[in-house]
Amino acid sequence: SSPSHDDPDYLTEFFHTRLQAENELENFFEEILQLNRGNANKDSNDIISLLVQSEVDEKISGKEIVSFCKLLLVAGNETTTNLLGNLLYCLIEHPDVYKQIQQDTALIPK
């Protein structure tokens, strides 16, 4: 069984779990970078390709790219969550707009 919150071993177990998850995430991004390095295309304009090109030009290191990818993942998750929450709030506060969008989805920008 896992330790309870008041057990001193709880923080140690939590720390090891967090460290393992962070290592797995770093390995995930490293694999993506390796794939991208192998398919280097200067015409690509996705964020990973641009970061890898900066690495090639010696403006940023691979370790910095991985850290930046982790930051983007967390920041993107947070902003998307807030965006969806605010969207639902606005639609509830303005049922007339919600009705219009239901009737004509072309009103939603692409």
Q: How many domains does the chain fold into?
A: 1
Structural domain of residue 82, as residue ranges?
Answer: 8-107
Residue 3 lies in a domain: no
**What is the structure's pLDDT at 2?**
61
Rounded Cα gap, residues 36 and 51, in angstroms: 10
Residue 85 lies in a domain: yes
Yes or no: say if 64 and 79 are a contact pair by the CB < 8 Å rule: no
**What is the structure's pLDDT at 11?**
78
Rounded Cα gap, residues 48 and 29, in angstroms: 10
**What is the structure's pLDDT at 44?**
76
Handedness of CA 36, 49, 81, 92 (dihedral sign): negative
Residue 50 lies in a domain: yes
pLDDT above 80: residue 81: yes
Residue 59 lies in a domain: yes
User: 3-60, pLDDT tens digit by residue?
Assistant: 677 777 777 888 899 999 999 999 999 999 998 888 766 677 788 888 888 887 788 8
Residue 90 lies in a domain: yes
Rounded Cα gap, residues 100 and 105, in angstroms: 8
pLDDT above 80: residue 101: yes
